Amino acid sequence: MLTIDDIRAVPLFSSLPDNELESLAHTSADLHLCAGEFAVHEGGELALYAVLSGKMEVIKTFDGIERTLGWRLPGTIFGEVPLALSSPFPGAYRAAEPSRVMRVDAQRYYALAAASPEVALKMGALARERIGGLQNLSAEPPKARVTIVGSRWDDACTALRQFLARNQISHDWLTPDAPELPARWPGIVPSDAECPALRLVDGPVLSRPATRELARLLGLQTQPRFAEYDTAIIGGGPAGLAAAVYGASEGLRTLVLEREAPGGQAGTSSRIENYLGFPNGVSGDELASRALQQARRLGAEILVTRSVARIDVERREIHLDGGDVVRSQTIILATGVTWRRLAIDGFDRFIGKGIYYGASRSEAGATHGLDVHLIGGGNSAGQAALFFANHARRVTLVVRGDSLEKGMSRYLIEQLAGKENVTVQLRSEVVGAHGDTCLSAIDVLDGTSAELRRYDCGGLFVFIGADAETDWLPAEIARDARGYVLTGDDVVKAGRWSHRRDPYLLESSVPGVFACGDVRLSPVKRVASAVGEGSMAIAFAHKYLQFDAR
């Protein structure tokens, strides 16, 4: 319990009268932290903290790497910058040894500052000093963790760049003919046969590495730590990450298996405008990054570059590529969907060389000053068009239908109308692709006039919907004709449920195996609904573990 003498030992409060000290002692929290415990996490809410004993470490994560920014010793405070700027904590504060910290909530501090101007003056001076330190830190040139050399049209180079971008690994990319290559690549410049070549900061030089090898060298987890888990989540999109957060927070030994990078299809979205709690919108990769940090902080294991070869539902075994096997009492399918492919002559040879299914933010830089085309009239196409409009010379949406209103939200249509370099070609479709080593032009058929025209094209991005790829699932898990997993009442209606109780809402035809997100048969396909279903799946998994898995 806090006493007047405890608080008076803090220089900021030493000149306060006894009645103010008494009030602080009765209204402030007395935190007793073990080594490794956090007083506040990065992004935490406003409050003022004072160290009474022990030692606090100031940490911040840069590019996935934790960095120590400083220390707070007895008598010092932290939280002055968030209170001065009315912003979340820019860093986290963790006990380096057993520590005791006093926490004053924001409203109580503001009342104290109003009653005691000297406290406000001291806080203001300290905030200015620390903000200056943060400015110096932000002025330091960021050092990329990976430098990659490879051709823009090299499939292997494209795959590695996408892998790095989607896993939030900072990297520099240089083409073999870049004039600055000798200055930025110490030692012998890699030959064409060695490209794509990668140099890790303070690490080795790699030639055409496999993504799993690269992931391991970058410190990403690729191997499970245990042989058995309470719940294994297959897929790291919004539904899978939500399940990971709730599973880990509720004490379940939780494993997420992701074949590429967390975020799923939503992770490639340049802007999600209608997600609750983000009034200005949020990019898919930012949302995925936040969820990933949260899941890991709570104790979930996230494996990347690991695909599931098959599931033995009877033995509750998940067989991974490479021969590893993990057991899990419950399994959550959150594999999402994959983009549909266009069956057009010439398309396949330009995949990754100017034609892309979907789009990620990392691809925008390659469209500077070019004319790009997008196929599709849904929200994903609209969001991508808005993002590319900030980079490309001209963006053209090629839409087979006669209006955007049939598949696109009104807010996106209005924003597209306000972009001078965005045009929409209705009743049209792409019927051909041309180029030598990469895409250079496309043929577009006007459905109204039947006129065929050829357009220069620096990039074609396809958004024509997606399908569930679930052929790898065992026959015991019921699916509809399009591959979507049946759950709840749909399992009963299909005659695929034989257990003594009714299936839970998100439970598949196999008790203890659940499905959530886009892979589940449902008319609603939204990021918010996927997140909700991921959290619900954990609630049902708990019920199964409590009543069935005995």
Tokens 């590019």, located at residue: 63
Asked if residue 223 belongs to a domain, the reply is: no
Residue 314 Cα to chain centre, angstroms: 33
**Residues 73, 55: Cα–Cα separation, whole Å:** 5
15 and 126 inside one domain? yes
At 141, the pLDDT band (50, 70, 90 cuts) reads low
Last residue of a domain, one of 463, 483, 517: 463
Whether 513 and 335 have beta carbons less than 8 Å apart is answered as no
CB burial string 47-79: b at 16+ within 10 A, e below: bbbbbbebebbbbbeeebeeeeeeebebebbbb
**Residues 165, 257: Cα–Cα separation, whole Å:** 19
Tokens 């034989």, located at residue: 498
Mean pLDDT is lowest, of 62-71, 87-96, 187-196, for 62-71
The CATH code of the domain that includes 421 is: 3.50.50.60
Structural domains of the chain, count: 4
Question: Which strands sit side by side in the sheet containing 197-200, from one edge to the other?
Answer: 171-174, 146-149, 197-200, 205-207
At 387, the pLDDT band (50, 70, 90 cuts) reads confident
Asked if residue 129 belongs to a domain, the reply is: yes
Last residue of a domain, one of 433, 463, 493: 463
**Residues 30, 48: Cα–Cα separation, whole Å:** 12
DSSP alpha helices (H): ranges in 221-305?
238-249, 284-297
Asked if residue 31 belongs to a domain, the reply is: yes
Q: Comparing 345 with 117, which gets the higher pLDDT?
A: 117
Asked if residue 222 belongs to a domain, the reply is: no
Mean pLDDT is lowest, of 220-234, 265-279, 406-420, for 265-279
Quick one: pLDDT at residue 361? 65
**Residues 289, 241: Cα–Cα separation, whole Å:** 10
333 and 472 inside one domain? yes
> pLDDT tens, 297-310?
899 999 999 999 99
Q: Comparing 278 with 155, which gets the higher pLDDT?
A: 155
Phi, psi of 60 (to 5 degrees): -150, 145
Q: Flag whether pLDDT at 59 surpasses 70.
A: yes
Asked if residue 343 belongs to a domain, the reply is: no
Whether 355 and 341 have beta carbons less than 8 Å apart is answered as no
Mean pLDDT, residues 114-134 taken together: 80
> pLDDT tens, 391-412?
889 999 999 999 999 889 898 9
Quick one: pLDDT at residue 465? 81
28 and 90 inside one domain? yes
**Residues 42, 198: Cα–Cα separation, whole Å:** 31
Whether 425 and 453 have beta carbons less than 8 Å apart is answered as no
Asked if residue 356 belongs to a domain, the reply is: yes
19 and 128 inside one domain? yes
Helix (H, G, I), strand (E, B) or coil at 19: helix
Helix (H) or strand (E) holding 309: strand 308-312
Mean pLDDT is lowest, of 60-69, 321-330, 422-431, 438-447, for 60-69
Asked if residue 187 belongs to a domain, the reply is: yes
> Which is nearest to 91 in space by CA: 82, 83, 100?
82
Q: Comparing 268 with 47, which gets the higher pLDDT?
A: 47
448 and 527 inside one domain? no
Q: What does the H/E/C string look like for 444-467?
A: EEECCCCCEEEEECCEEEECCCEE
450 and 473 inside one domain? no
Q: Which two tokens stand for residue 466?
A: 């997606």
87 and 232 inside one domain? no
Asked if residue 342 belongs to a domain, the reply is: no
Quick one: pLDDT at residue 348? 84
**Residues 465, 525: Cα–Cα separation, whole Å:** 11
Q: Distance from first CA to last CA of the chain, Å, rounded? A: 44
Residue 207 forms beta bridges with which residues?
Answer: 197
**Residues 332, 312: Cα–Cα separation, whole Å:** 14
Side-chain-facing half-sphere of 124: CA atoms under 13 Å:
8
Quick one: pLDDT at residue 444? 94
The CATH code of the domain that includes 28 is: 2.60.120.10
Side-chain-facing half-sphere of 99: CA atoms under 13 Å:
27
**Residues 410, 21: Cα–Cα separation, whole Å:** 56
Quick one: pLDDT at residue 349? 86
pTM value is 0.77
Q: Which two tokens stand for residue 24?
A: 């602080």
9 and 121 inside one domain? yes
Mean pLDDT is lowest, of 19-28, 263-272, 347-356, 510-519, for 263-272
475 and 329 inside one domain? yes
β-pairing, 99-105 with 439-446?
Answer: unpaired
Residue 320 forms beta bridges with which residues?
Answer: 308
125 and 89 inside one domain? yes
Q: Flag whether pLDDT at 502 surpasses 80.
A: yes
At 139, the pLDDT band (50, 70, 90 cuts) reads very low
The CATH code of the domain that includes 174 is: 3.40.30
**Residues 174, 365: Cα–Cα separation, whole Å:** 13
Phi, psi of 297 (to 5 degrees): -60, -35
Quick one: pLDDT at residue 260? 84
58 and 135 inside one domain? yes
In sequence order, what E strands does 204-261 have?
205-207, 228-234, 254-257
Phi, psi of 322 (to 5 degrees): 95, -5
Q: Which 8-state DSSP code applies to residue 13?
A: G
The torsion region of residue 266 among left (phi > 0), alpha (psi -120 to 50) and beta comes to alpha
Residue 517 Cα to chain centre, angstroms: 16
**Residues 156, 67: Cα–Cα separation, whole Å:** 32
Whether 215 and 262 have beta carbons less than 8 Å apart is answered as no
**Residues 485, 362: Cα–Cα separation, whole Å:** 32
Q: Flag whether pLDDT at 496 surpasses 80.
A: yes
CB burial string 251-269: b at 16+ within 10 A, e below: ebbbbbbbbbbbbbbbbbb
Last residue of a domain, one of 184, 217, 250: 217
Parent domain of 47: 4-139
Spatial CB neighbours of 347, under 8 Å, sequence gap ≥ 6: 341, 355, 433
Residue 229 forms beta bridges with which residues?
Answer: 328
- The alpha-carbon radius of gyration of the chain (Å, integer) is 27
327 and 381 inside one domain? no
Mean pLDDT, residues 545-550 taken together: 80
Q: Which two tokens stand for residue 417?
A: 């109308």
